[in-house]
Structure formats: C-alpha cells, structure tokens
Structure 1
C-alpha cells in the first residue's frame, strides 16, 4: 500500500512513571534487579547512550572498593543480558572501559517527550502530555545515595522542560480562547505540579468568564487544598482574588463592564498583533505560518511589559496603542518573516525586525530569533511610552519613569524614584512592579550610600515588600528576581537561588531577569548557569545599559573569568557605584595588570569618599569594612580572596596596612 509506514519493532522503554520494558509483541523484558533497572535507565538518558565503568560504579556502588564495585557491575550486566535474551546483542555494547546501549535500537518515552517539546507547537506539547505517565522512575527505591542525587537532578530537569513548554502552550490557549487545549494542558500541569498557579488561574478564570461561579469556587477549593497540602500555605493573592470574584459574580461583572477590560490591560501599553496572509506555496506556508504565529503569541503573552490584543476576525479594529504586523513568505525554499511595530495614534513607525531561515522549518535558532524580536518590541514600546508619559499620572507610566531613574543608582535619583513608586502603588494596588521597585531600592541603599550601616530591619522590610509583590503577581519573573536579592541580603542563599531560577523559568527571554539571575547565581557558585544567562541577556537586549555591564563585570569576576569581566568594565560609560570598581580592580590584579588595578582602587576610594555618609569618619580602612559588609559572595574562600586582594591594593595606594575583619553575611 502506497504511503503505509512500517511498524516500529524496536523495544519500548518506559521511564516516566513505573519503569517497564516491552518488546513489539508486548512481552515484558523489565529487569527484576533494581540495579539492572537503574543501569538501563541511566544509559538510556545519556546523550550518546554510554558511560564509563568508573562513572557507573560511582553511581551504583559508591560505598564499595573499586574491585568489588567492578565485580558487582559485571554481575549486573550479566543479569541484564539474561533478561534481554536475544535482544541483548542488538541493544548492549561493552568495552573494557565503557558500557552503552544502542539508542537507535530502542524507543524511550523520555526521548519521545523531549522531541515533541522541542517542536514547540501546542499539538506536539499535547502529544507529549499524553505520554507523561508520572515522574521519572516513579516508585523506584534508589540503591545508592549517588544514584539518588543524579536521579533528583534528572527528575527536576525533565519536569521543568515539560512545565515550561506546557506553560507557554497554556498561555496561547488562554489568549486564543481554545477551550479543549486550555483544559487539557491545565489538568496535565496540575497533575505534574499540583501548585502550578498559571494552570489553576486558567481553569478558575475560564469558569468565571463562562459565568459559572460554582465551578470556579470548586476549582479554587481544589487549588487551596493543594497549596495547603504541598506548601503549607494559602494560594497567592491573585488566586484568592479570583475566588472573591466567584463569590461576588454580579459585582465582578459590573466592574468589568465599567472598565471595559481587565486591570492588566488597563495598566500596560496594549499591542494588537496582526498576521498578514502568508505568501508562497500553501503546502509550505500554511502550517509554518500558524506555528510561527502561535509562537509569537506565546512569547508576547509572557511579557509583563505589554498587553497583547488579538483580533477575532480579519477586519476587527482593536483599541490598542501599538500594532505589530507580521508578514511571512517562502521564496525558493527559504522561509522569511518580517515584523513591523507602529504607534496607532499617528502611524509612526518604531521598529522593523526580520527572520531569515534557509530551511523550510522552525528550528531552535529561529525561536531564539523570535525571542530577540519580542525583546526588541518591548524595548521600543518602553522607550516610546517613556517619552509620551512625561505628563501622565497612570501607575504604569510612573513605574516606568521610576524604573529608569533607578538605573543610575544615584541617591538623589533613588529618592525621586521612591516618591513615584509610592504614587504608582497608590493608584493601582493590583500592580506589583511598584512594590517590587520599592523593595529593590531598599536593598540598593547600602551600595548607593557607602558608610550607612545596613540594618537587618531594613532588609526584613525589603523582604516583606518583595514577598508582597510576588503574592500580587506570582507570574512576573522580575518580582521573583527582587525576592531572590532580598533573600540573599537576609542570608537565605538557598531560597534566593531558588527564586532566581524560578524567575528564569517564568521568563527566559527577559534580559533584565537573565542578567540579575546571572549575577545572583554567580554569587552562589553556579558558573554554568551564570555564564549562560549573562550571554543570553546581552544577546537579547538591543542597547544594554550600564547596570547590565556592572552585573556582568561582577558575575564574571566572581567566577574567575577575568578577561570577560574586564570587557564589561571597559564597556561601562560611568561607574555610579563603588563596588563594581572594586571588582574591576580585583580582575585587573588577577590579570597581572597591576598599575591599572591600583588606578581602579584609587577610583574606588574616591567614589566611596564622595558618597560617604557613615557615622564614623571616612578612611580607607572604613571603606574596606563597608565593602566587606555589602558583598554577597556565598563561598567563604572566594570572599576572603577578594577582600585580601582589595586590602593589598589599598595598602599599596595608601601606604597604610589594611586589617581585615571578615564579616559574616
């Protein structure tokens, strides 16, 4: 029969949920030994399907000697061969140093899910959801603490990529009003992550929109039970407000009718997304155009800097401040797309962006291009809105102008920003960013005002503000970043690191979120994540401001990447803070550029002295003590290395020995 596909006769390995291995006829080939199961699962999840014997012994027999562990591995491998029978020769390969499996001869559910998620479109994500049958190796009793540690990381990674992809698909379903997808995705998310706020919000909000208050309240009760059971807390404020709306449906309906739109749309600049009919052969353009549009909707829908409006039919006119028009065409098997942003009131053109893909398909690089384009759209709108908002007193405009002021870190600018943020918070109590901004400024005061002693009470107040901002809008990634800094300042590094990672999960395409997470994770010692996020932040931002380079300088200096740190130091137009000058001097000294290091140390002293406001008189020793109190490096050895280097440089430029009294953060 033409077009028929050959049946797949490869064995199927199920790792999600309870482990099982079956051949194409359904015969059970699952190993009986726990360590055989663990060996098979570990190899199936390796990129090339193989690992060294030493690595495997360390995972499964970490408490035994080398010879005993290798003997145990040989016995486990023999047991696995017996279980696989005739299939063993096809599947297993072993050398003196390595053991592996032929990934091409085996279907693995985890890899199927990863391939589906990599496609990115909602249909593929729904297909992946159908294959999700529980957590990785669910119910398996780990045979060794080292294997348990490895499994914990793999479980977290696989869960995170599914939740992140499903969150995006859910946002598309909510925006486009696709009820079947919305319900299916939300239910899957809640099954995997019972306290997933976006999923609960989507289901409760959908019931409210349909006028079914009783269904909304039932959903909320299930949500509250999950939060109490898993987190020992009440649901966030945003979900509690939905419950209040369900209890007072008439008042909520009148409020919506009076405002004409949701609170979120009222406070943010609105953007109408228009997709022109694609040009090119329909067999190529139709599917690609729909997929590209859905990806763009998802990327814009994650933004907390704009409100996305979608027309329900081609001729609908939307009351939006801006219009983003997408054109797509295929020419000689080359996919191209253009994006044009304009201001609606006067048709002023603000931005043109373009995608160009030599292959007929959307690949990872194309989606990265799309993220960059959305980031540029946000930047263009924020810049334009800031110019137009000089005389406006709405909450968003006040926050936006205050946010720009805080970038300088000058005490006078911070004081002006505080006044504006208080006004913004008073105008719209449901807008979280002014509250997060107040927390951020409170955390910044010790760095901007050298010598002023930071009290635990002030940091505790900042922590309370940051927690309040997250409670108001738990989906705003920037709020979680501010909460991360607040935890760091109160000495809670584990909680702070968790918030930085959560921020990136929520919005991996916001340059400000990425650069903050980069510095935060550098302080905690996660070099790989810190470098990756910093590089992505600078790639996405169309005009990185000075504080980006400050963060980059400090992050790379902490990690020991001194040349990269100095690159960011040289890119700074001015140093508004003293701490980056100290890190610049440290990087220069470590690069054996001693004259420049001493010059940067002198500049550090000058900035500290010019802004000194401490109770004691300024002195180089007092400046060193202040620096000791404000740095956030968690690793004690790295912290002492930095302070010893600065003390040596201060001794060289002042001629007076510098005592170091290490401050305990």
Structure 2
C-alpha cells in the first residue's frame, strides 16, 4: 500500500497526508496520532487515551476534549487517509499499512546496512525526538521519555552491528563508529573501530587521538583504564605493527524451524529507576517477582525465573543481548520514575529477533497507592502480555507449513481459525489441534483449546453427533486439567464446561472459587466464571468478574466472548438495555457467535426493541437453522425461575421457533 500519511518525529513533530501538512498547531492531536502510530497495531479504549492526554482533568471533561480531537482528525483526513484512523464508540487505533514514521524508517535503513544522512548530520538524534510534545502531562511525558530511551537503545544496538568488519563499506563503518561514540563516549568497541580503520588508512594521529579521548574520559569519570584489548590495539598502532584485521565472515545461520522453538520464552528484566527521586527497592523487586509469578501460573508463554534476570544491568548491556544469552524470544522491561509523590511506570514487550515493540503501556500511582497497585500492575502486565505474544507468534509463523509447526504454534493457529466461527475453516482448526496433541501429548494448552473447540461446535449447533462430542469435550477437559496440574485457568474452563453440560451447581461454583483463589488476576479464569455465577443467580458477582476480565485483557483477540459472557450477566441482573448493547458490540466483532446472537435477541425483546430483536433472531437462525425453543427449554441454564421465564419468553417474542 502506498504511504498516504507521513509522521515526522525527528525534530518538530509534523504530520502530512498526501504530502500536505495536517493538524498544524494542534499539539494534542499531533500527540495522539504519534502515540497511535508507535503503539500500533494495538487499539486503545477511549478512556485510556483521554487519561493519557488529560490526566488531571475530570473524566467527563477529558472525554469531551478527546471527542473534539477526534472531530479534528475526521476533518483533516480525507481521501485514502480517512480509512487509516479507526474510531468507534469505545476505542481507536491506527492502520500503519499506509503510514510512514521517519524514526522507524531510519531504523529500517540501519538494518539494511545504510547510514541515513539525518543521523550523520545529527548524531545526538534521540534528544531531538518528539520536539514540541513535552509538557502535555506527567504520564505522556513518561511515555515520551521511555520512547526516547528505547530509540537510543535500538540505535546503539544497530550501529553496533553496522560497525562489525565486513558488514558495510569502510567509510560507513567509520562514520557509524563516530556516531556511536557521540551517543556513548565509553563505547570501547566503537573506539577500537575508529582506531583500527584510521590506522589502516595511515592516519595514526587520528587513531591515537580517539584512544586518548577514551582514556581520559574513563580515568576522569570512572577511575578506570581501557580494557586490555583496547590498550593492546593502541600499543600496536604506536609500534607501527598494526594491520587491519581481515573482514570477519558472518557465521551461517540455520534456517528457522518453528518445531525447534515450541512455546516462546519470555524474560522479565528489573525495571530501571529513572529518578529524579528514589523509588523503593521493594517496589521495583515486587513488580518483577509478581509479574514473573503470574506469568508462570499461566503456563505459556514460558517465563524465565527472576533469578536469571534480577542482576541484569541494562545500562551496561542491552536487554536484547542479555535475552539472547538466556535463550528468550521476548523481553519485558520498563522504567519507574518518581516525581512529586507520583510514580510513573512504563512497560514494553519486545520481540528479541526483530526488535519490534509488540505492546507498551504506562501506569501512574500516588505514593499511598503504591503497595496496593503493585499486584494490580503485575496482573495487568501478565494478562496483556499473553495475547500480545500470541499475536506476534501467529504473525511470525504465518508462512510455515503445519508439519513444520510445534504443538504450541499449531494450537495458536487452530484457535485463530476456530474463532472466526466459519464452518469452512472450523473443521480445519480441529485437525490442527489433533496434530498438535499427537506432536506433544503433554502440552496442556492444546487440550484446553480442544475443549473449547468442542464447546463451540455444540453451542453453534454444528455437531453431527452431540453425544460423541460431549464425551470428547469431557475427555479433553479432564486431560487439560491433569496436564496443567489443575492450574487456575484450566480448572475454571473445566468448571464452565461442566456448567454447560450438566448445569450450574454448588460443585462448579466451588471449582471456580478454587480457580480464582489460585489466579485471582487471570483474565481467562475470571471470564470463565461469569456464566456460572449468572446462571446461579449471582448476577452482581458475574458482572464484576466480567468487567474485571475485560479490563485486564482489553486487546484480547477473542474479546467478543468476554462481551457475550458479560451480556449474560447483565441479562441476569435484569439490565436488558446494557445486555443488548454489549451483545451488539460482541456481534460486531464476530456475527457468527450463535449463543451471543440469541442472547442479544432476547435482551432487545426484553427492553422493548422488537425490530432489533427480530433482526438478531433471524441472524441466529441463519447460523443454526435447527434450533428450537422446545429443545432449549429442557437445558436452559438459569436456576432462577423468573430469569429463565424471561429468557424463554423473550426468545419467543423475538421470533425464534417453538
């Protein structure tokens, strides 16, 4: 796709659509688009964006200000650019397929072995980023600070690769080494490259001048001398014995094979204290420990022990370098900044191989909230990381054949196919899951997904042998429970399917209570509890768990199921308008989810909107033509007679057949 939107963040922030400047002088509109461009492909709830740009403004006023900014965007973007900004009632995002960001393009140039002119002219480039956007608010300033830090780290790493012998022409390597020294005057590797190339050219004076500058800096500021390797090079140059090392031949890399990778490994590094005020060590250590523990309880991705990362000094070595040593595919790192009794926490998830930022988020807490918010932040990070990692892994392995995929990647691909809820691809999802189970019969997530597959097949009315499939579901759920060591998530899903098959009762409620005691901040365990609680007449608890689950995983690719379960809870609460509203949102995301379409039809009928009730009833019958109320009446799940009667009567009023 031809780039129709260009965003410049080097120097003064400037945005152009079809070559023409837009939003000039509208600082918060520029800030919003910059944030969306660098956080893509994620969508953000309006409340999050409003809080970021108007953090000290009452929520209602902040939302009004955001609406004005969005109105400005709609007016500014016409033609092809209009489709790039996606805005709905709850969230917004940016399609980067037609967007070019100059800082990202610069990184791509470096990765291709070229040194951009703008970098040669401005070696202190990280300091020039986002000019004009500082001062919008503490939280947005913290995000800018983190983006500058990440940019500088990536710039340093890519320049380090560019100066390797044989990686680029000599002149390019020399300039890249000079820029590295401007960014980090203590970078001995860059200094040695300047020395070696200069000496090989016969420019001994320039070579020794670079060495002396490094020597003086190290001695004055750190009271140490250069490494023996650097000193030895200086001696060789002084003795006239120096000869340039022959270009290093890059080692051949084996082709990436997904079956050798399995579930990705994740390294969580200690958060960096950026000042200006000290942050308590217990808080820094607490976030690390809590995040690792919560991720470990989810079984996948595999998280490395905090003992392996706690001592990492990311100021001395890049997270990417340390992660490679540990064999990690993804890193989580961040920063904590304390100012005026407020704590600003920034977090990023980065794929090690490509350096892509897959997810980023900032949090703010006052000092008296610090201890209470520690576990909340860790839980939020854990729940948001898992779908981000899964999305990245789906993208990374999209070109592999099924036979070359590990059980983990087969399971991810199967889930993605299953939740399209299209009959033509639904059977393929089951085939992939059976292949995954054969490849690794001990991988619990495969059997959790297989349980889900049978549950959906039965709920959609697609099973040609319900008795057989109920048994297969029971077998898969039991196996998932055993293999996972009765993890909270597997136990919650097992309890949910027991409810669907046999009805909600004290036993399934007890299972869910145990599951949530194990993993109280796991979004999936929470969401599985919602229908059972609603069916048992505990609608308030069901709504609370559903809302919390959705807030913990707002970018979940299967959010439509969270919304459907929440719609059930609101129906049980007799808030039929809210049930219908959330059901519509779910249907917009996935119109083939039969259970949700039927519940939405009933909710519209109960709230008196018969045209919409009939429309959703017709949609439901298109998905499952064999559905009948007489059959459903025997298994309808609500224990409260009044709620059960309301559901059946309103399904009938909507037009579903007897």
- TM-score bracket relative to the smaller structure: 0.5 to 0.7
- The Cα offsets for residues 219-261 of structure 1, whole Å up to 9 and x where unpaired, read as xxxxxxxxxxxxxxxxxxxxxxxxxxxxxxxxxxxxxxxxxxx
If the length of structure 2 is used for normalisation, what is the TM-score? 0.53
Displacement of 1:450: 5.8
For residues 185-264 of structure 1, the aligned pairs below 5 Å read: none
For residues 421 and 637 of structure 1, do their structure 2 counterparts lie closer, same or farther at Cα, with a shift above 3 Å needed? same
For residues 379 and 436 of structure 1, do their structure 2 counterparts lie closer, same or farther at Cα, with a shift above 3 Å needed? closer
For residues 537 and 489 of structure 1, do their structure 2 counterparts lie closer, same or farther at Cα, with a shift above 3 Å needed? closer
Match of 2:97 in 1: none
Give 1:297's match in structure 2, choosing from 292, 314, 320.
Answer: 292
Do 2:512 and 2:529's aligned partners in 1 also have CA atoms closer than 8 Å? yes
Instruction: Structure 1 unaligned segments of length 5 or more: list them.
Output: 1-264, 613-621, 652-657, 660-665
Give 1:332's match in structure 2, choosing from 332, 340, 344.
Answer: 340
Match of 1:384 in 2: 392
- The Cα offsets for residues 2-38 of structure 1, whole Å up to 9 and x where unpaired, read as xxxxxxxxxxxxxxxxxxxxxxxxxxxxxxxxxxxxx
For residues 623 and 487 of structure 1, do their structure 2 counterparts lie closer, same or farther at Cα, with a shift above 3 Å needed? same
Match of 1:460 in 2: 471
Q: How far apart, CA to CA, are the structure 1 residues paired with 2:566 and 2:327?
A: 40
Instruction: Structure 2 unaligned segments of length 5 or more: list them.
Output: 1-259, 314-321
Do 1:486 and 1:496's aligned partners in 2 also have CA atoms closer than 8 Å? no
Match of 1:602 in 2: 618
Q: How far apart, CA to CA, are the structure 2 residues paired with 1:347 and 1:443?
A: 38
For residues 13-32 of structure 1, the aligned pairs below 5 Å read: none
Displacement of 1:290: 2.3
**Is 2:523 the partner of 1:515?**
no
Match of 1:179 in 2: none
Displacement of 1:266: 6.7
Give 1:584's match in structure 2, choosing from 588, 593, 600.
Answer: 600
Q: Which runs of 4+ in 1 moved over 4 A?
A: 281-284, 450-453
Q: How far apart, CA to CA, are the structure 2 residues paired with 1:314 and 1:451?
A: 53
**Is 2:375 the partner of 1:367?**
yes
Match of 1:562 in 2: 576
For residues 599 and 266 of structure 1, do their structure 2 counterparts lie closer, same or farther at Cα, with a shift above 3 Å needed? closer
Match of 2:118 in 1: none
Q: How far apart, CA to CA, are the structure 2 residues paired with 1:430 and 1:591?
A: 48
Displacement of 1:395: 0.8
For residues 589 and 328 of structure 1, do their structure 2 counterparts lie closer, same or farther at Cα, with a shift above 3 Å needed? same
Displacement of 1:435: 1.7
Q: How far apart, CA to CA, are the structure 2 residues paired with 1:404 and 1:380?
A: 14
Match of 1:404 in 2: 416
**Is 2:637 the partner of 1:632?**
yes
**Is 2:542 the partner of 1:542?**
no
Match of 1:443 in 2: 455
Match of 1:643 in 2: 648
Match of 1:15 in 2: none
- The Cα offsets for residues 611-650 of structure 1, whole Å up to 9 and x where unpaired, read as x4xxxxxxxxx63234435643333443233222322343
**Is 2:355 the partner of 1:347?**
yes
Match of 1:241 in 2: none
Do 1:579 and 1:627's aligned partners in 2 also have CA atoms closer than 8 Å? no
Do 1:489 and 1:632's aligned partners in 2 also have CA atoms closer than 8 Å? yes
- The Cα offsets for residues 545-588 of structure 1, whole Å up to 9 and x where unpaired, read as 32222222223223322122112122131421333222212211
Do 1:280 and 1:329's aligned partners in 2 also have CA atoms closer than 8 Å? yes
Displacement of 1:396: 0.6
Displacement of 1:339: 1.4
Do 2:266 and 2:330's aligned partners in 1 also have CA atoms closer than 8 Å? yes
